[in-house]
Amino acid sequence: MKLYDYVRSSAAYRVRIALNLKGVVYEAIPISLLDGIHQGDSYRALNPTGLVPSLAIDDQGSGKGIIGQSLAIIEYLDECYPEPALLPATPLERARVRALALQVACDMHPLNNLRVLKYLTGELGISEAQKTAWYHHWLKQGLAPLEQQLSASDTPFCCGDTPGLADICLIPQLYNAHRFKLDMNPYPRLVAIDRACNRLEAFQRAHPDQQ
């Protein structure tokens, strides 16, 4: 398997965690977002959205192809490599975990994506201070409900004693929050989950500093 990857892409970071949790060996192909490689013809030929990550599969059993969208990739991995499971056993529990993951991946992440920030500072001419205010605003809008929802339990991870899809989405988002120096004091439950995940080798090896 080849992962078209970028060190600080939080969507790619999700997939790196999932691959590590599953123990899948893969080759990382770096696609620099800073150099605009994701928008070039050769990457767009693989993934017309021009977004990272993509996973290229060439396997006798699973077939051959390219998948985009981190959550589709992670669910594909969960189906092909069922252990350890990234989703719980019952439909209701699975829906709850998917809802938490989608809160991060669909409601939070796109608003602070690189192309949005570039449009704000470029075409719309906002200042760096305004960009940071925008970034913090949408982080807080997303993290507050997660803190509230996850405080209903005190398991080490988002939804139980083992990490799953919700943790895989949350931890890269918390990395972004640290990188943009958001005050994490209002989110003690999220900070505790972050610590629990980052004690695990699968999360440590996926961390941007380790790429």
Ligand X SMILES: N[C@@H](CCC(=O)N[C@@H](CS)C(=O)NCC(=O)O)C(=O)O
The binding site for ligand X (CB under 6 A) comprises 9-11, 33, 38, 51-53, 69-71, 105, 113-115
Provide the minimum distance between the beta carbon of 173 and ligand X in the complex, in angstroms, as a whole number: 10
Q: Yes or no: say if 57 and 65 are a contact pair by the CB < 8 Å rule.
A: yes
User: Which run of H or of E encompasses 145?
Assistant: helix 128-150
- Closer CB to ligand X, residue 9 or residue 103? 9
- Tell me how far apart the alpha carbons of residues 162 and 97 are, in angstroms, rounded to a whole number: 13
Provide the minimum distance between the beta carbon of 188 and ligand X in the complex, in angstroms, as a whole number: 26
- Closer CB to ligand X, residue 51 or residue 206? 51
- Contacts for 182-190 with beta carbons within 8 Å, 24 or more apart? 182/136, 182/139, 182/140, 182/143, 186/140, 186/143, 186/144, 186/147, 187/143, 187/144, 187/146, 187/147, 188/147, 189/147, 189/150, 189/151, 190/143, 190/146, 190/147, 190/150
- Closer CB to ligand X, residue 17 or residue 196? 17
Provide the minimum distance between the beta carbon of 153 and ligand X in the complex, in angstroms, as a whole number: 26
Provide the minimum distance between the beta carbon of 9 and ligand X in the complex, in angstroms, as a whole number: 4
- Closer CB to ligand X, residue 173 or residue 196? 173
